[in-house]
Structure 1
Amino acid sequence: MTQVKRAGPWTCPSDRQSTLALPLHVWPDRSSEEILMQLPHGAVVALVDGKHFELHRNTGDESNPELAALVSPDLDESNKAGGAGRDSSSANPTGHQIDEDAHAAAATQWLNTQVLGHKIEKLVIVASPRTLGEMRRHYHKQLEVALVADVSKDLIGKTGPDLIAALQAA
């Protein structure tokens, strides 16, 4: 099944009664045909979870991506106020969620700085679902412009062809 989206207020000139919009854009249904993510040359892929932060760069092109590992930076995780009003309690006795939120906020701050400094032009963020939710709260507007995709998956530790396959299936 395909989905059709009306692209503008134009009507078919041959039938004044028609409400058909022209031009029409047709997108294939995901269930009938897999849509693959395109990873631009030079794009940085950031893998993040509550404790880890890994970086890769596409040294290939869109049709044949090749990921090279980059050195992960040291993050300043001292901002424990980054979490959404969480505090240590009986439900979270160790406060580990606060530490994970601080890690997500620190990773996002580092990415924001790199995008604002024009060191990253295209970015893909892959993070565990909980971490990605926290990261989205800290996205700068320019990071959102540079963002090719953000994917809610835990792919920490995957490299090379396994990571590319997982991204293309996302």
Structure 2
Amino acid sequence: MKVPHNAHVAIVDGERFILMQNTGKPFEPELKTLEEPDLTNSNYSAGVRHQDDIGQRLGRTQLEELAHGAAVAECLNAKAIAGEIENILIVADPKSLGEMRNHYHSELEKRIVGEIDKTVTGESSDRIAKIIAES
């Protein structure tokens, strides 16, 4: 996948959020970590969609993970609106990515250069760069 030079890369799962930047070439990304924000989960709007009896009994609701996805989207929205992000690639596990999409602001949507639905938060930055290049 092509990732512009200096583009931001958001690495997300249900518990972690790492913001990186591509310091390499578009087809040969090299990632450096910018920050790992400590977010407060406050948007539990996904709970409306996940209140079924069976899901609650089987423990499939995972509201904290979904609220984390919403918090990440809100953080990225603020950065996009403030002009801190020009281009961004989002790499997230499928459940978090789905929830994040529900909260994207139009300013953030304009800046998204791609999305990869894969869990990579436990990988090294070199391995993540390789995954991105191969996508």
Q: TM-score normalized by structure 1?
A: 0.71
Displacement after TM superposition at 1:110 (Å)? 0.2
Structure 2 residue aligned with 1:121 = 86
**Structure 1 residues 76 and 123, CA gap change in structure 2 (3 angstroms):** same
Q: Please give the alpha-carbon distance, in whole angstroms, between the structure 1 residues aligned to 2:41 and 2:50.
A: 16
**How many residues were matched structurally?**
134
Bigger radius of gyration among the two: 1
Contact 1:87 1:98 in 2 (8 A): no
Structure 1 residue aligned with 2:102 = 137
Q: Percent identity?
A: 38
**Structure 1 residues 43 and 106, CA gap change in structure 2 (3 angstroms):** same
Provide the alpha-carbon RMSD of the alignment: 1.9
Letter in structure 2 aligned against 1:57: Q
- Among 68, 72, 77, the residue aligned to 2:36: 72
Extract unaligned runs of 5+ from structure 2.
Answer: none
Displacement after TM superposition at 1:108 (Å)? 0.4
Q: Please give the alpha-carbon distance, in whole angstroms, between the structure 1 residues aligned to 2:48 and 2:104.
A: 15
Q: TM-score normalized by structure 2?
A: 0.88
Which stretches of structure 1, 4 residues or more, deviate above 4 A after TM superposition?
A: 93-96
Structure 1 residue aligned with 2:9 = 45
Displacement after TM superposition at 1:167 (Å)? 0.8
Contact 2:51 2:61 in 1 (8 A): no
Greater length-normalized contact order (CA 8 Å, ≥ 6 residues apart): 2
Structure 1 residue aligned with 2:75 = 110
Letter in structure 1 aligned against 2:39: L
Displacement after TM superposition at 1:57 (Å)? 0.6
Shifted more, 96-105 versus 54-63: the winner is 54-63
Letter in structure 1 aligned against 2:30: E
Contact 1:77 1:102 in 2 (8 A): yes
Contact 1:77 1:106 in 2 (8 A): yes
Contact 1:87 1:95 in 2 (8 A): no
Letter in structure 2 aligned against 1:60: G
Higher helix share: 2
User: How far does the alpha carbon of each residue in 1:63-116 deviate from its partner, in whole angstroms, 9 at most, with x for none?
Assistant: 542210121112121222244522384533568611111000000000010011
Q: Please give the alpha-carbon distance, in whole angstroms, between the structure 2 residues aligned to 1:96 and 1:86.
A: 6
Extract unaligned runs of 5+ from structure 1.
Answer: 1-36
Partner-residue secondary structure (3-state), 2:79 = helix
Q: Please give the alpha-carbon distance, in whole angstroms, between the structure 1 residues aligned to 2:64 and 2:51.
A: 10
Structure 1 residue aligned with 2:132 = 167
